[in-house]
């Protein structure tokens, strides 16, 4: 059994990685313990509001790199630990059996060399699959600059792999993570994608990353605008076939002249995720949402902002509008849009119906008509009405030293 100190150190070092999902794999149980759960499953939630789905742990936090933003960088005075393969495997098996976790998220600091680290990660997952008979979900972090042969070998045992982009542009990478470059991060992603396609085409036995690849980047540690970040994500989804891009708003855990001292706003991160969803599930293009040198509006959610600047498309009639258009109405989500499409086959929908179907009308009512009726405000008043609601929702009791956005707007007299 792994000792508490090692577990604590290795978890503390892994927790800033935001990837959490356990979805997308349909791996079956083949005589051991565990299987995939295609929709994913959250097992617990921590006080920071994040879910625990996978056992998120580093194999070692002893790093040879010195990335400025990273807690585990070489210069940082931090207790170091390295776990053995059996420690990790035993932990996964017993946690999984008790239904604490859905699987393993294994990452590592670059220990000794990239190849050595990747080899160690590969050994752990191989052991877990073959010796311990574990068929649950495994997410392995790819180590930049590791040999592709080892990465591909690891992919045979993992459900998902991810290479972190870390920062949204090459110049920031150079500044803050000088040992990594764009090539070492993007190239393995493309190679893995190609390898997966070959694996599928040749109908080889076994699995090769059934849940695909993801990546994550830190937002707010470097000066990139949301517009360029979203274009980058869009490229990753469409060209590299990634399943998810995670954004993590910068948390200042270290001090460095090159890093900002304040945390990136949670609201900005939230807006990025909203826009990300629009790219993946609502048929939007990044180009439609905003120009590359602009940030997303904090005042309105991205869909609302888009609709407000495209009032020529609205209002739409819910009984007639195609699904793609319903999806573009602020406040109507994928589920509501589908339910509207199903329900209107049987009856002419009115606002009363929509309300009972729990379609959120707070924003939507300004952009739709139901059976010809319109309950929204005049076009020039909508912007003001919606932003007033937003401001109210974000209002918090201030104290003398609070430094959030609302406090700032109070100082500038904007509030």
Q: d(Cα 100, Cα 135) in Å, to the nearest integer? A: 16
Q: Which of residues 237-276 bind another protein (CB under 8 A)?
A: 251, 263, 266
Give me Rg for the CA atoms of the chain. 24
Give, for 118, the enclosing helix (H) or strand (E): helix 114-130
Tokens, residue 315: 């209002």
* Farthest CA pair distance, the chain: 69
Considering beta carbons, is residue 8 or 389 the nearer one to another protein?
8
Q: Is 395 in the site for another protein (CB under 8 A)?
A: no
Considering beta carbons, is residue 48 or 312 the nearer one to another protein?
48
Q: Which residues pair with 244 in a beta bridge?
A: 214
Q: Which of residues 143-202 bind another protein (CB under 8 A)?
A: none
Residue 318 three-state SS = coil
| Binds another protein by CB under 8 A, chosen from 198, 342, 408, 415 | 342
Shortest distance in whole angstroms from residue 54 CB to another protein: 10
Shortest distance in whole angstroms from residue 178 CB to another protein: 26
Give, for 161, the enclosing helix (H) or strand (E): strand 160-162
Give, for 213, the enclosing helix (H) or strand (E): strand 213-219
| Binds another protein by CB under 8 A, chosen from 8, 113, 389, 396 | 8
Q: Is 400 exposed, middle or buried (0-12, 13-18, 19+ CB in 10 A)?
A: exposed
Tokens, residue 342: 């199903």
Handedness of CA 373, 376, 379, 380 (dihedral sign): positive
Q: Is 373 in the site for another protein (CB under 8 A)?
A: no
Selected range binding another protein among 124-132, 145-153, 344-352, 368-376, rule: CB under 8 A: 344-352
Q: Which of residues 15-54 bind another protein (CB under 8 A)?
A: 15-16, 29, 33-35, 37, 39, 41-53
| Binds another protein by CB under 8 A, chosen from 19, 21, 25, 56 | 56
- The site for another protein (CB under 8 A) is made up of 1-2, 4, 7-8, 11-12, 14-16, 29, 33-35, 37, 39, 41-53, 55-56, 91, 94-95, 97-100, 102, 136, 251, 263, 266, 339, 342-343, 345-347, 349, 353, 356-357
């Amino acid at each position: 059994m792994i000792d508490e100190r090692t577990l604590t150190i290795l978890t503390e070092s892994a927790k800033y990685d935001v990837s959490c999902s356990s979805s997308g794999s349909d791996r079956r149980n083949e005589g051991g313990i565990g299987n995939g759960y295609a929709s994913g499953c959250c097992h617990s939630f921590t006080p920071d509001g994040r879910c625990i789905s996978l056992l998120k742990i580093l194999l070692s936090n002893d790093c040879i790199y010195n990335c400025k933003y990273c807690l585990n960088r070489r210069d940082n005075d931090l207790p170091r630990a390295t776990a053995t393969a059996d420690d990790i495997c035993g932990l996964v098996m017993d946690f999984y059996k008790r239904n604490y976790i859905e699987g393993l998220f294994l990452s590592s600091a670059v220990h000794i060399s990239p190849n050595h680290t990747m080899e160690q990660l590969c050994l752990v997952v191989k052991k877990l699959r073959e010796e311990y008979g574990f068929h649950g979900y495994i997410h392995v972090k790819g180590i930049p600059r590791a040999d592709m042969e080892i990465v591909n070998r690891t992919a045979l045992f993992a459900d998902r792999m991810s290479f972190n982009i870390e920062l949204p542009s090459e110049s920031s990478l150079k500044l803050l993570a000088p040992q990594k470059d764009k090539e070492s991060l993007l190239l393995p992603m493309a190679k893995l994608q190609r390898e997966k396609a070959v694996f599928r085409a040749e109908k080889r036995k076994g699995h090769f990353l059934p849940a695909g690849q993801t990546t994550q980047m830190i937002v707010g540690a470097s000066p990139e605008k949301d517009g360029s970040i979203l274009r980058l994500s869009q490229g990753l989804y469409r060209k590299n076939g990634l399943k998810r891009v995670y954004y993590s708003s910068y948390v200042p855990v270290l001090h460095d002249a090159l890093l900002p001292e304040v945390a990136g706003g949670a609201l900005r991160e939230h807006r990025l995720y909203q826009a990300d969803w629009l790219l993946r599930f609502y048929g939007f293009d990044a180009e439609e949402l905003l120009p590359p040198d602009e940030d997303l509006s904090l005042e309105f959610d991205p869909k609302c902002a888009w609709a407000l600047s495209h009032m020529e498309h609205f209002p739409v009639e819910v009984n007639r509008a195609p699904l793609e258009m319903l999806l573009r109405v602020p406040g109507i989500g994928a589920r509501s849009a589908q339910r509207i499409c199903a329900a209107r086959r049987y009856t002419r929908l009115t606002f009363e119906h929509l309300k009972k179907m729990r379609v959120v009308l707070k924003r939507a009512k300004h952009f739709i008509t139901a059976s010809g009726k319109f309950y929204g405000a005049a076009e020039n008043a909508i912007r003001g009405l919606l932003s007033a609601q937003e401001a109210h929702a974000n209002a918090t009791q201030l104290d003398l030293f609070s430094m959030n956005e609302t406090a700032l707007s109070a100082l500038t007299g904007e509030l």
